[in-house]
Amino acid sequence: MLINEPVNLREWKPQAGAPARARLYTAGRPGRGTPAYGRIRRPVDDAIIDTWVAGLPAGDVLHIVSLLGKKTDGYSEYTYYPFRSCLEAGPKPTFQDWLHQRHGPRFLVHEFPTTDARGIEDDLMERVATCARRLLLEGQTVLIIDSAGAERTARVCEHLGFQRK
């Protein structure tokens, strides 16, 4: 089985006016780069998520700005995982807590739920951009994720004044 985790991992470079020392990346959600999971609605094994984590950008702290939310039919994108959104109730640990328990305190998750294939509303775009801009100005490494790591993530990066490397 071909595993390409994290799928669509890209680094973005700042244009004029964007924080110069910033490190900004985008990628798809865990499991999206593995054919057995991809777009199929089935639980993603811990080993695939671990492979996704191992392929993420290095650094003392990685800030994950998550745009994961729901599919157009209301299906939670977190249903695939052994974790949940911090905005959802349930017995599973949050994405943040799961990462800390399994991989240590290297990750900080900032959640901004969106609906897959629907873009990002203007007010939500401003909230996401404000969070990411603050982190980038602090010199943090930021990874923005959505389902495939292509559409919503790219719109945020462009809004921030970054372009694909």
pLDDT-based confidence at residue 14 (cuts at 50, 70, 90):
confident
pLDDT-based confidence at residue 17 (cuts at 50, 70, 90):
low
* pLDDT at residue number 145: 98
* pLDDT at residue number 85: 95
* pLDDT at residue number 59: 84
Q: What is the mean pLDDT of residues 111-136?
A: 94
Q: What is the mean pLDDT of residues 89-97?
A: 96
> What are the structure tokens assigned to 119, written together?
């873009």
> What are the structure tokens assigned to 156, written together?
């945020």
Flag whether the pTM goes above 0.85: yes
Q: Tell me the C-alpha distance between 66 and 68, whole Å.
A: 5
Q: Is the pLDDT of residue 1 over 90?
A: no
Buried/exposed 90-116: b ≥16 CB within 10 Å, e otherwise? eebbbbbebbbeeeeeebbbbbbbbbb
